[in-house]
Amino acid sequence: MMNKKTFTNMALAFGLGLAASTVSYAMSCSSHPAPPDNPQTTEVPAGRGGYVDLTYAAEKAVNSVVYIKVTTNGRSQMMESNGPFSDPFFEEFFGDFFGRGGRQQQRRIETPKRQGAGSGVILSEDGYIVTNNHVVENADELMVKLNDNREFKARIIGTDKSTDLALIKVESTGLPAITVGNSEQLKLGEWVLAIGNPFSLTSTVTAGIVSAKARSLGASPGSIESFIQTDAAINPGNSGGALVNASGQLVGINAMLYSQTGSYSGYGFAIPTTIMNKVVEDLKKYGTVQRALLGVMGSDVSQYIDMQKEKGNNVDLGTVTGIYVSEVTADGAAAAAGLKAGDVILTVDGKKIEKFGQLQEVLTNHRPGDKVSVTYMREKKERSAVVTLRNIQGTTTAVESLDTDDMGAALRPLTDVEKQELGLRYGLVVSAIRKGKMQDAGITKGIIIMQVNDKEMRTKTDFDEAVKAANMSADRVLWIRAKTQSGLNRSFTVELSDQTKK
């Protein structure tokens, strides 16, 4: 099973009032439920004594959860080796006296082939499957196993690191698609089931209740979080599996567990379907997620007031709920609509906003160019504004995924012989050039690309990732540092700005 990704999360520990613990991605697998007899039904069957009969939900959903086997091929790369005198102290006083014993040592590292496991949920009869981004990222091969033991090779349609979601596809028909429910209708204390393959125990079903909604964990920088918190057991191997309600409808994608040991200790977290639906739709249509931004930074009002009290300040905002706006982006949507730092956002499109996770969840369901009504408090007086949401570039147009093959250049890593001859440790050679962005920037055949936006170019994957990141950034520019075959330094600027339109 693939190694869990764990990290110490002080923000989470603070939010829950606990000692610093770990949040683990629950790498997992799953099974799949048969198509519902009546997709419209929301009636929950009751057992003897009026108790909810969870066997109905389990039987309805289990066949829609699949096991995903992930293979990552071995990699060969050059790594800097710390010699006995690699400390900067020695370099400062002795220079290159110790020669290759210092930082200049290089050695080739062969990473082994790795295999891991995760879960996914069948969304359509023609083979679209949703899972976690962390399950499939860096995968060279994906194999999907259904609950009836049929196996299919899968391909990635698109991924979204911010929400930790990914869409993959197998080529088949008549698959047991799950019924997607509305996570907004979940209530605290409502029964839910987590279905997956923890510790390679396939088709495992655990039960619990909804412990909290719109939970933000601060799992990674830039992440969009509005988790459903549940005490249904989620363990390593559950990632990408289904969280279903008592009607057997999908309400969340299992993603994380909160633990001091790396294994389940009471809390699991799932991505709600309100976020999943929009991400899946965008990945199908655009190849990337259309992120609508309000252009504000802030925190829950309760957190802001508590922080001010700790500083000895008494704060009266006229409300004790909402989102306190600490910063407004100069060219953002909120600034254009007249919002300022110090305002408190109360509602968006009529929905009461009490947690930052709720604000993120609402915005995730919109695209750049959409208009939303915002009610906010300023100087204890309620105001309203209509805000036209923008993308990361500050425009209202859709951002298309960018195929690096259309850049107009064929790239390959330097060979060992070329590195020795040119005195370089890494680099990508432009082996062919045709009409496209690279040629327009003045790049010619034979140029050796060393860095793109300060990222070292060692593999073609490095270049692809740099282009993708630039395409989704505010600048949408590649700053390229390169060398000629004769060793002269060159720099190029590749504009991606016209790639937003079809």
Classify residue 137 as exposed, middle or buried by CB count within 10 Å of its CB (0-12, 13-18, 19+). middle
Strands in 306-398 per DSSP E? 323-328, 344-348, 351-352, 371-378, 381-388
Strands in 32-164 per DSSP E? 65-72, 76-80, 106-110, 114-122, 128-131, 141-145, 151-160
Residue 124 DSSP one-character state: S
The answer to whether 130 and 271 are in contact (CB under 8 A) is no
Signed CA dihedral, 387, 390, 396, 400: sign only: negative
The three-class DSSP label of residue 451 is: strand
Residue 240 DSSP one-character state: T
CA distance 225 to 23: 14
The three-class DSSP label of residue 407 is: helix
The answer to whether 228 and 183 are in contact (CB under 8 A) is yes
Q: Which pair of tokens denotes residue 315?
A: 């704060």
CA distance 335 to 346: 17
User: Which residues form the catalytic set?
Assistant: 134, 164, 239
Q: Which pair of tokens denotes residue 280?
A: 């899946």
Closest C-alpha among 175, 176, 174, 155 to residue 166: 155
Q: Residue 209, Cα to own-chain centre: how many angstroms?
A: 25
Paired with 306 in beta bridges are none
The three-class DSSP label of residue 205 is: strand
CA distance 235 to 29: 11
